[in-house]
Amino acid sequence: MISLHSLADDVSEFHERFGHPAPPVQPGRIGRSSHDLIAFRIRMVTEEVKELQEECRWAMDEIQHRARLASECVDVAYVALGTLVALGIEVPHHVHFEPNTYTHITSCVTDARRELAVLQRLTCESIYARSYERTKWACIALTLAAFEILERTGGGTAACWQAVHEANMAKAPNPDGEKPLKPEGWVPADLAAILGG
């Protein structure tokens, strides 16, 4: 079992390291957030889901493709949970990911694009409406769907998450406040090794 609350703590650590928004949790309401932050989070969710949908189109017989798909799954979860962190929404302690528990979300990887599109739309609508509960559960559902897809690529969700988080934390702050930089010698997470390549 993987605690989504614990993963949100990882994302919060990332936000704090790189100066991204991580306001205190205010139960029941989204913290003060600018229109720009709302638009940015919607854009991030949309972009990451599109990238995952694109990877879902390919057969999973090659380990490198499975590694790219796993990376996109973690990216979607990172951005979905990052949205909650940025908006001051707490992930409940009782929410966990258990492999093969959410098979109704994604019947198979190649069929997942439609489900992802629905979840992405619901998530973006909820963020735009600044609805605390809808945003919380839409981001959680998107995370769970991404993890279920990752499990179907060969498993190792917790190990893939940890590898990507460590690689993210090894990046360097960007003086412009934009996305963190990949410093010289930076190495991306080796998800192929985790998936058995």
Q: Evaluate whether 135 touches 126 at the Cβ level (below 8 Å).
A: yes
Q: Give, in order, the Cα–Cα distances in Å from 182 to each of 43, 175, 186.
A: 22, 13, 6
Q: Round to whole Å and give the CA distance between 182 and 169.
A: 10
Please write the tens of the pLDDT for every residue from 110-138.
Answer: 567 777 888 888 888 888 888 888 888 99
Instruction: Indicate the pLDDT class of residue 106, thresholds 50, 70 and 90.
Output: very low
Hey, where are the domains in the chain?
2-194
Place of tokens 């629905």: 118
Place of tokens 């010698």: 185
Architecture of domain 2-194: Orthogonal Bundle (1.10)
In this prediction, residues 3-10 reach a mean pLDDT of 94
58 vs 69, residue with greater confidence: 69
Ranges 29-38, 39-48, 66-75, 77-86: which has the least confidence:
29-38
Cite the DSSP H helix spans in the chain.
4-17, 35-56, 63-86, 112-129, 132-152, 157-169, 191-194
